[in-house]
Structure 1
Amino acid sequence: MKNSINLFFAMVLGVFSFGCATKPVHEGAYRQAQWETKAMIRNLKEQKTQTVDIDIMAIKNDRARFEITAILGFQVASLVMSPQEISYAIYPEKKFFYGRSSESAVARMIGLPLHPMNLSYIAFDQPVRGPGWKCYADPSGLISKCENQQRAIHVEWKDRSEGKKKVVITAPQFEMQWLFNAPQTEVQFKPETFTLKQPSGFKAIQIN
């Protein structure tokens, strides 16, 4: 299970950083939503595949919560974030991380610069932003592809149908297929939804 969460963070979170898209993209009109998603992650170098379910609750450009589970509902991690703060619990390791939400906060743990809010942006069909990224829209104005040629990383939105979609992320050593069910947009979140407390018996680690 540890490999599942490590692959998820290293592959999905690690490839993103802030910046600007190259052209206007039409985004969903809803401001908050909830998704049920499934991610299949392939480590091409080691020829390994991991599958996790990711439940997302998010308010656009504000805050988000991710619940990550493995096969048979085994709880892998909980992640709560805003543009300023982040906290997450990794259940197999019994570790709880909290602190400032920033590229450096996560880079010190996995060795790659990122801002975790990019996960929420992908769900809301917002462009990947950062130096070297170029993003493109399809004829209807929805985001269809972002790429960073220098890093050989590509993100594509595919198979849109009645709110469902597939996001494919490819890099030199990894491939991820992220399947989204149609979002629930008529949702009201409680304040505690975006609060994550240190679970009993977990080691707390502050990130700066």
Structure 2
Amino acid sequence: MKRLFFVLAASVVLVSCGTKQVKPPLPQGSYQKAQWETKAVVRDLKANKSHTVDIDIQGDYPEKLRMEVKAFMGTAVASLALNSEDIRYTIYPQKKFFEGHASEGSFMPLMNIPLHPRNFMSIAYDTPMRGAGWTCAKGPDGLLAECNQVGKSIKVQWQERTPEGQKKVLITGPTFEMRWLFKPPQTEVQFKDETFVLMAPPEFKTIQLK
């Protein structure tokens, strides 16, 4: 989590899943295109420090995701675009642009969290986490309640849902904790072609993800 806290500090100053990547179907009555306003509190457990960020999400399930991360006073921290297996994101305070094949290590330069970018979409859309070693369970309401990746001690819990669609998500691991509040989704949306396109800003260093 040191990378995320460095980025945020700089910006202020400025059910079971196997090894095969199967796209889970959306819950009955759900939506393909949606956008969310969210707020997350990310805590570094080792350093006992936390920061709050706003994350705007736009999704076209199951292939496309856009995330805009902002810190204090709306300061831009990062932009992310996921198109199937292609991931691109910009870290503005560092003037770096990352691109490559999406994997569990894709976010390491930003958050130091070994979570596949597709699983951020899974969290938003209430679908089981994808990838090796994940097991998931539904709650009494029939909705997804918890997913665990035991081998890496990572847990995702969906909590405090409302009829309007608001929810809280708790993501925990050995060195981090992320408390994520989702406001009710906007589902009457239309996205432009460029919504899920992200290009390297001028003078930013481009880094290939491996």
2:189 counterpart of 1:169: no
8 Å Cα contact 2:4-2:110 kept in structure 1: no
Further displaced range: 176-185 or 120-129: 120-129
2:143 counterpart of 1:142: yes
Q: Which amino acid aligns with 1:120?
A: M
2:67 counterpart of 1:71: no
% same residue:
48
Q: Secondary structure at the match of 1:68?
A: strand
2:188 counterpart of 1:190: no
8 Å Cα contact 2:7-2:77 kept in structure 1: no
Q: Which of structure 1's runs of 4+ aligned residues deviate more than 3 A?
A: 1-7, 17-21, 24-28, 102-114
Counterparts of 1:86 and 1:159, CA distance in 2: 31
**Alpha-carbon deviations, 1:48-91, whole Å to 9, x = none?**
01111100001111101000000110100000012221111100
Counterparts of 1:2 and 1:109, CA distance in 2: 6
1:1-208 alignment to 2 at 5 Å?
3-4=4-5, 26=27, 29-103=30-104, 114-161=115-162, 162-208=164-210
- The structural deviation recorded for 1:34 is 0.3
Change in CA separation of 1:203 and 1:78 when aligned onto 2, cut-off 3 Å:
same
What is the TM-score with the length of structure 1 in the denominator? 0.83
Q: Which amino acid aligns with 1:136?
A: A
Counterparts of 1:182 and 1:110, CA distance in 2: 25
**Alpha-carbon deviations, 1:135-163, whole Å to 9, x = none?**
11112211011123333222110000121
Counterparts of 1:45 and 1:67, CA distance in 2: 26
Q: Secondary structure at the match of 2:161?
A: strand
Further displaced range: 181-190 or 41-50: 41-50
8 Å Cα contact 1:80-1:194 kept in structure 2: yes
Q: Secondary structure at the match of 1:192?
A: helix
Residue 15 of structure 2 is matched in structure 1 by none
Unaligned stretches of 5+ in structure 1? 8-16
8 Å Cα contact 1:128-1:146 kept in structure 2: yes
Structural RMSD (CA): 3.0
What is the TM-score with the length of structure 2 in the denominator? 0.82
8 Å Cα contact 1:169-1:177 kept in structure 2: yes
Q: Which amino acid aligns with 2:169?
A: V
